[in-house]
Structure 1
Amino acid sequence: MNAAIRILMCPPDLYDVDYVINPWMEGNVHKSSKERAAQQWQQLKTLIAERATVELVPPAAGWPDMVFTANAGLVLGDRAVLSRFYHPERQGEEPHFKAWFEANGFTVYELPPDLPFEGAGDALLDRQGRWLWAGYGFRSELDSHPLLAEWLDMEVVSLRLMDRRFYHLDTCFCPLSDGYLLYYPPAFDTYSNRTIEMRVPPAKRIAIEEADAVQFACNAVNVDRTVILNQASAALKQRLQECGFTVVETPLTEFLKAGGAAKCLTLRVTEPVQPKPAEVVSVLSRVVDLSGHLLDSGLMNRALDTVVECGGSFQVLDFKLGVQKQSTSQAKLKVSGPSPEIIESILSELIEIGALLPEVKDARLEPVVQNGVAPDDFYVTTIYPTEVRVNGEWLRCQKQRMDGAIALRRDDLGQLTATCKLLRDLEVGEQVVVGIDGIRTLHKGEGREKAPKEEFSFMGSGVSSERRVELVVEQIAW
């Protein structure tokens, strides 16, 4: 037994499936057995108590999901980040968990009320203390990750969840001792899977099949070299044993009806702080403006869907609805992405539908050092007339074409000119536009009727399909 490890649990005295807030609850409302649930919970508690110290928080009337203490918050050292539940059905748990944290000497950090984050259900510490894995997509917002990095002084690695069945990170992802990782890859998007592969070597990755995933094999409690879980296939048990782990199965079927298993029923409250923490977070944010007939044209919905589908999150900072039929509406959105590549992709898609970047900056220029070779991250041109901002002035690009680069050089009169060129035509001595700033393209405005004049929109990055393919290829090549 490792008495230094303390794990928080909540007795299932008031547990029931009272509502539906995840796919596992569908068809199971009031179909759980209180007797079997109590028996299964007690068996889990006994197994954990043989290996660690179990502490209890009393259940509160009206909040049947308090039994899932993993969602109480996230603990590191003497700091606890309190959960902000996404669904109203669980928001009443927050003051009860806050009271427990404070009574036990934790400094409690609270996120803004409109920023969902569901604790250790969506934030899991690498067991070697190198970084914090943080999930988003269903219950927790990406914008919570920078605050986690700040408050915990730890690098945060963002992972996007894609499968509604695995709505919390801990339902499909379990960091194990000595740097091992138990996880279900199809629960994540391509970029997140690549991130996992870059962080965890192949010998340490234990990818499971769907048959194990739906039995919540990843929703396991790991104490030293023991893995306690609901159920695992023979193949998975063998793989874990080959990696030096002892697998202990204990049925938790009554809790699966609510979408939880062993890990959901526990919260580790003794997470040691590493000697040299580093606050690192890759989440980037930009503000974009939308203007037009945003509601009846469907533009607002398209913009918000685009952000989510591309792997980001959004916050509506301002919305002004047009008061007359002919009036236009204005919206200001904060858009966030987990990496420069994804935020660039999001901005590209938004610009395609007419979004504007309000901040005006000069374009970033890089020299051509070899004929026919463009600098990294060069801006890829579109068919739309384009202008580039240099030294505070906008220059119209000549010879507009798709899938080219913007090259700048001085003409015979000493005037700076911008020209769209194929990559093979780039020459040493020219400068090429790179990055996401200082570019705008000419689009025709659209509303209930097409506007008679053209409107400029600030570009955030390349929007061609070629550029998107290039980004994907680059990620795969890492």
Structure 2
Amino acid sequence: MCPPEYFAVGYAINPWMAPGTPVDVELAVKQWTVLRDTLLGLGHTVHVLPPGPELPDMVYAANGAFSVHGVVYGARFRYPQRSAEADRHRAFYLEQGWRYVAPTVINEGEGDFAYLPGRLGGLVLAGHGFRTDPAAHAEAQSVLGRPVLSLHLSDPRFYHLDVALAALDDHTVAYFPGAFTAPTRQILRNAFPDAVIADEDDALAFGLNLISDGRHAVLNSEATGLAAKLRAAGYEPVPVELGELKKGGGSVRCCIAELRSA
């Protein structure tokens, strides 16, 4: 995770961003701190990257890379405003002794990749349509040695996979069908007949931008309907307020790069 000490909305690279939007940095840091402390309280370890004044979006740490079993497939950002973030993440993984593989094509890390270790020996779900180049799916499959299922996003409000779909445990996902093309909706229906289906209101509230450890699902507090569905499906929803960071087009999941060392 990376604290939003320099968070601002000074440019627009997704439909949620409106340049000049007032941002309460103190509130953003407080909300981020609650999220970090929530993860710690659930027994997870959190590593913190130092923020940089020239990188206001670095709080969205999920976009910096994608790791599977000790191998890291690095990010290559589509927009120059965020390109320097990739080097910050690369330095972290190398310092920690991970095997880091630099990408040759555009991809935005966990923004467009999700992992289900219980499917096909480890299945990568990969989004494209707005940020990540489809060629990155094949590259990720080669680098990570895991099968990749490509999913085509069609609604620009859901510009990354992680605002349209979430891994809930080793086998199960939640998603909003309206974020995807018709062929991809059919793929998801066939592959995940037991999925938790979010409605549009909760998807637009960034409810699917959640992180789950298989039992606890930490999600935006605005997504009350999805929280009820998750509870009914056997998960324990843990709501957090991240209204300030939503101004930049992100929420819980965007703020967290999951470290899969094994």
> If the TM-score is normalised by the length of the shorter chain, which range does it land in?
over 0.9
8 Å CA contact 1:20, 1:29 repeated in 2: no
- For 1:67 and 1:238, locate their aligned partners in 2 and report how far apart those are by CA, in whole Å: 28
2:163 corresponding residue in structure 1 = 171
Q: Which deviations, in whole Å up to 9, do the C-alpha atoms of 1:201-255 show, x marking residues without a partner? A: 2xx2111111101110000011230011112554422221121111111110101
Structure 2 residue aligned with 1:254, among 232, 235, 244?
Answer: 244
Where do 5+ consecutive residues of structure 2 fail to align?
none
1:87 corresponding residue in structure 2 = 79
Gap change, CA 1:244 and 1:271, over 3 Å in 2? farther
Q: Give the secondary structure class of the aligned counterpart of 2:32.
A: helix
Larger radius of gyration: 1
Where do 5+ consecutive residues of structure 1 fail to align?
1-8, 273-478
Are residue 102 (structure 1) and residue 87 (structure 2) matched?
A: no
- For 2:172 and 2:95, locate their aligned partners in 1 and report how far apart those are by CA, in whole Å: 34
Structure 1 residue aligned with 2:37, among 46, 54, 65?
Answer: 46
Q: Which deviations, in whole Å up to 9, do the C-alpha atoms of 1:391-442 show, x marking residues without a partner? A: xxxxxxxxxxxxxxxxxxxxxxxxxxxxxxxxxxxxxxxxxxxxxxxxxxxx
Are residue 111 (structure 1) and residue 103 (structure 2) matched?
A: yes
Q: Give the secondary structure class of the aligned counterpart of 1:229.
A: strand
Are residue 162 (structure 1) and residue 154 (structure 2) matched?
A: yes
1:237 corresponding residue in structure 2 = 227
* Structure that is richer in strand per residue: 1
2:185 corresponding residue in structure 1 = 193
Q: TM-score, normalised by structure 1?
A: 0.53
Give 1:73-472 correspondences, 5 Å limit: 73-112=65-104, 115-129=105-119, 130-201=122-193, 204-272=194-262
8 Å CA contact 1:37, 1:255 repeated in 2: yes
1:311 corresponding residue in structure 2 = none
Are residue 23 (structure 1) and residue 23 (structure 2) matched?
A: no
Q: CA RMSD in A?
A: 1.3
Q: TM-score, normalised by structure 2?
A: 0.95
* Identity %, equivalent residues: 31
Residue range with higher mean Cα deviation, 233-242 or 130-139: 233-242
- For 2:228 and 2:117, locate their aligned partners in 1 and report how far apart those are by CA, in whole Å: 21
- For 1:153 and 1:55, locate their aligned partners in 2 and report how far apart those are by CA, in whole Å: 26
Structure 2 counterpart of 1:218, which letter?
L
- For 1:14 and 1:62, locate their aligned partners in 2 and report how far apart those are by CA, in whole Å: 8
Q: Give the secondary structure class of the aligned counterpart of 2:67.
A: strand
Q: Give the secondary structure class of the aligned counterpart of 1:268.
A: coil
Structure 1 counterpart of 2:150, which letter?
S
8 Å CA contact 1:71, 1:83 repeated in 2: yes
Q: Kindly tell me the number of residue pairs found equivalent between the two proteins.
A: 259
Residue range with higher mean Cα deviation, 138-147 or 12-21: 12-21
Q: Give the secondary structure class of the aligned counterpart of 2:249.
A: coil
- For 2:227 and 2:256, locate their aligned partners in 1 and report how far apart those are by CA, in whole Å: 22
8 Å CA contact 1:10, 1:56 repeated in 2: yes
- For 1:36 and 1:233, locate their aligned partners in 2 and report how far apart those are by CA, in whole Å: 20
Q: Which deviations, in whole Å up to 9, do the C-alpha atoms of 1:61-113 show, x marking residues without a partner? A: 3011111110010001221111000001100111111111110111111122x
8 Å CA contact 1:123, 1:133 repeated in 2: yes
The Cα shift of 1:180 comes to 2.1
